[in-house]
Each structure stands twice: as C-alpha cells, then as structure tokens.
Structure 1
C-alpha cells in the first residue's frame, strides 16, 4: 500500500498537465513512498502522453465524466493518504504537504481546499460561478448541518477509510457535492484549509457547463437530502399537503356548511380528503425510510471498522 497517492483526473488538459505533474513531484519529494497518478478520461489530445513524459503513472477511464474517473481511482489505488487535485493548474501544489500531515497527524478524513475564503471571487472570470458556489455552500451547510467552506472545490485530501467507504453515485461534476454530503452525514472528521486560487491559464478551457452542471448539482443536493433525511423530506411534503387540504376544506366545505347546512361543494370535499390521505401516506413513508436510514448508519459504522482493520493489515 502506498503512503501517499496524488490523484489527478484529466480530460483534454495538454496545456497544463506537464506543469501540474512536475510541480507536484517537486513538492512531494520529502514524503516517502508517494506517487502521482494521472487518470486520463478519454482525452482527444495528448494529455496522457504528456503526463507519462512528466513521470506520472498514467491510467485510463474511458467513461466520460469526473464521477466515473473518481470511482475508478478510488477502486484501484491503495494508499494511506489520497490527495486529489485538478489538472488545470488552478490550485497551488505547495498546499499538499500540509494537507498530507493533517490526515496523518490529526486523523482528518477529508481536508477541503477552500478557495472561497481567499482569491476565488477575484480570480474567477466565469459568469455566475461565484453566485453558484455561494448558493450550493449555503444549501448544504444548512440542510446537512455542516460547516464546509468550499463545496465544489476539486482540491481535497482523504483518509483511506473515507475513500474505501465512499459510494460514488454521480457521473459528472456533482461528485464534489456528493463527497461533502457523505462526509457530513457519516460524521467524518473534516477540516477546511484555505488555499490560493488562480484562474485557468490562457489556452486552457473549463469543462464545466455553468447551467447544466449547476442544475445537476442542485438536483443532487435535493436527492441526497431525500436519502439521508427522509423524515424531514417527506414530513415537509406531508405538512404542506395537510395545510392545503385543511384550508381548502374549511373555506370551500365547512364554512358554507355552517351557513346553509348543506354540503354544496362535494367535489372539493373529495379532493381535499384525497390530498389529506396523500399527506398521511407521505408522513408514514418518511417514518419507515427514516428507520431504514438509521439501520444503514449503524451498518456503515461496521464498514468503517473493516476499513480500519485493512489499514492495520
């Protein structure tokens, strides 16, 4: 098992990959048994060749999407510490030693490279990315009761037990959101590390679709909230439907009945009762799924024990 694995997912990054690999190799010289892995995501240019020329161990993932690449990396590489960094030369490799020592010395499970607390808002030139990062950060920190400073950063360090117990479900750029929520919901030890961010060098293009990927991130948050907090999710739906049902019943059925003694709006009565029934079903669905989720959290603790035993071996 490697001591440190530097993981670099790359797709069409020929203009920067050599520099990132060379800079990374330079800063990890003092860390024993450390290797740099570049996972080429079926690039159309010579990214893989340039990475190999710079001295990286090059592997391939032919299914397009950052989530698919990370799934492959996490399955194949065995290391005590993992550090993931993008291939676009926007992150300072000088932060790698501190990230590494946080995992080794403090037993941190995930170190988040925090761009938003330093230069991101000044350096980033892409429209709506600043607002999108702030919105995603607000939603996750409030819905999942955590304090991660930069949800969408691609610069992170991980412990072995995080990597080997993280179920990669996303195919694309939603993967960072999934990592953050997984850490929050499984009580992983997370620390934020402020890093300097610089915009992409000239000639390097972002693969992120601002609107399409942004919508997928929001949908991922919504879906994971439903999975991890089913009682809150379905209970909220139940409460809204109950209020709608009771207000409709009172205004359209009960008040007119008090005045006339007749049920004048029979269709409204039927619809309001159906809505109330759906609200009850939603509430009990939340209760059942919450019990299942509680059992899953207990099972996850056993999987953590297995991961820690593999480290000792």
Structure 2
C-alpha cells in the first residue's frame, strides 16, 4: 500500500523544511511513503528547497492557480503515481506531520473513505474568541448541509482513500475544504474525524485578507454546493414561502369583497397575484434545476469512468 503526502506550496521556502521534518517515512500498514509538493507559481526558492530536501515528486504550476485548483491537481498527480492513500497538509507547517499515522488509520482499517484532522480550535492560543466562534458556527452549518459529523470542517489536514480521490470533483477556485465535505456527504462517503495537533503559527494566512472576506467566500461556497446537490428542495422552499405570502393579501381582498367592500382593496388582489405568479415561476425553476442536477450526476459518473480508464483502475 502506497501513501503519498501532498503539500500545496506558495512561497514556502522557509517553512517547508519544518513541514517535511515532521512527516514519518514508516507507518504501520503502509508499505511506501512518498512526498509530493505542488508549487503554485512561487516566486521564492520553494522548488529549490524541495529538491534539496529530497522530495519524491515536484509538480510546478507555471502561474498561481489558487489553493483549490492546486489541491485538485495534486490529487490527480498522486493517483497517476499509484497512491492508495493521499494525505493533504499545508506547506506553512500548521499541522503536525507526526499525526499522519493517526490520520490514515481509519482508511487503512477500511473504516473510512475520508478522514479530517480536528485541530480542536477551541484550544489554539493564537485563535481569537471571534475566530473560534466562527469556526464553531461554520462547522455546525457545514455539518447540517452535508449530513456529516466532521468537527473541524475547514481543516486542510485530511486523508483520502484512492476511491474517494477518484470520486472527488473540486469546482471552486477559492478553497476545497467545505466543498469537499458537502460533496462527500452527498455522495454518501464514509467520513471520519480524528483529533490532531498543530504547530506554532509561522505566518498569516494567504487564503484571505480579512475575516469579512473569508466569511463571504465560505458562505458562497456553502450556498453553491448546497444548490448543486439540493436544488429542488432549495427552490421549492422559496416557492412555498412566496405562495404563502401571496395568499395573505388575496385572503384579505376576499374578506373585504364578501363584506361588500372589495373595490377599495383591489391592490391586495394585485399584490397577491403577483406573488403567486412569482412563486409558480420559482417552482418551475425548481423542477428545471432538479433536472439539471440529474444531468450533473450523469456527467460525474462519466468523468469517474474516464478517470478509472486513464488510471487503469478497474475497481467499482
């Protein structure tokens, strides 16, 4: 069984040595451990540092593609090199590599398809109370949307079985973490969460410039993924709400009409009719979105088969 640890990097010349130093090269149940960096258009000596550290595989993006696309490219490259298990960690040495055996254990024991490292954010000293609150609320929301029980949904320290990596499709250009969990939950993959340790902070996050910007992007990712997998439910709820609201002024008009005063309240009838019409159109949108959802599933099945053919993977 081969394990490849992939490390997306962007200007990690100084932190990469510490990241590599923590990663064990011998793990029970694993025959071979290899390291891969995916350099996302770094402008420093990240690639040279990786070569000096003896990294097994160095993948280079000619320009900066962003974390999500670099993560997806890493999965593809690991699969091409025959990885049975893929671990993703950050190049800034945020996660303690010595916990990789704990991270992959559920996959080795065939108990999980994906394992996410729980940083136990409530205990991290450099996280402000507000950031800890955001983590709790955000993770609870993702658990609700995905139907999973992942404690730390934005943790980038996670492991994938070969089967899970083949089935994952990342479409967001921003971050893969939330999208990955919602998608895996909707595809009924087995997801586990294990507590892991973190290292002292080495630098500020490059993924977002401010908390409001981070919240905006994460919320848009949640909404986009939920719409992708539950369009009928989402639009049907809106249609029902508009219909209910529309019935209120219509009922008001009917009451006055039967009391002989309908002519003075015609605006209620107009308003209610417009709302009912919008509700009907929204319901039609719900049906169309659901049909598109079925087409997306067919496309994903086709893409999965193409990947298996390319990889020579004949597993179901």
TM range, smaller chain: 0.7 to 0.9
CA shift in 2, pair 1:187/1:307, >3 Å = farther
Match 2:149 to one of 147, 150, 157: 147
Q: Partners of 2:114 and 2:281 in 1: how far apart?
A: 38
Q: Partners of 2:200 and 2:173 in 1: how far apart?
A: 25
1:32 Cα offset (Å): 2.7
Q: Partners of 1:11 and 1:128 in 2: how far apart?
A: 27
Match of 1:286 in 2: 286
CA shift in 2, pair 1:279/1:177, >3 Å = same
1:41 Cα offset (Å): 1.4
1:284 Cα offset (Å): 3.4
Match of 1:29 in 2: 26
Matches within 5 A, 1:9-20: 9-20=8-19
- Which region of structure 1 is more displaced relative to structure 2, 292-301 or 142-151? 292-301
Match of 2:43 in 1: 44
CA shift in 2, pair 1:281/1:199, >3 Å = farther
Q: Partners of 1:257 and 1:238 in 2: how far apart?
A: 27
1:182 Cα offset (Å): 0.8
1:90 Cα offset (Å): 1.8
Secondary structure, in 3 states, of the residue corresponding to 1:113? strand
Deviation string 1:80-113 (CA, Å, 9 cap, x unpaired) is 1100001121211112123233223215210010
Report if the CA contact (8 A) 2:26-2:32 is conserved: no
1:300 Cα offset (Å): 5.3
Report if the CA contact (8 A) 2:249-2:271 is conserved: no
1:18 Cα offset (Å): 0.9
Q: Partners of 1:235 and 1:34 in 2: how far apart?
A: 49
1:305 Cα offset (Å): 7.4
Report if the CA contact (8 A) 1:238-1:279 is conserved: yes
Match 2:104 to one of 79, 100, 105: 100
Report if the CA contact (8 A) 1:120-1:197 is conserved: no
Query: Which residues of structure 1 form unaligned runs of 5+?
Result: none
Q: Is 1:180–2:184 an aligned residue pair? A: no
CA shift in 2, pair 1:304/1:60, >3 Å = closer
Report if the CA contact (8 A) 2:247-2:272 is conserved: yes
Q: Partners of 1:288 and 1:67 in 2: how far apart?
A: 29
Secondary structure, in 3 states, of the residue corresponding to 1:231? helix
CA shift in 2, pair 1:308/1:76, >3 Å = closer
Query: Which residues of structure 2 form unaligned runs of 5+?
Result: none
With the length of structure 2 as denominator, give the TM-score of the two structures. 0.86
RMSD (Å) for aligned C-alpha atoms: 2.5
Secondary structure, in 3 states, of the residue corresponding to 2:263? coil
Deviation string 1:174-231 (CA, Å, 9 cap, x unpaired) is x100000011000001111111233413xx2321322212211111111211121112
Q: Partners of 1:65 and 1:127 in 2: how far apart?
A: 28
Match of 1:263 in 2: 263
Secondary structure, in 3 states, of the residue corresponding to 2:90? coil
Match of 1:171 in 2: 173
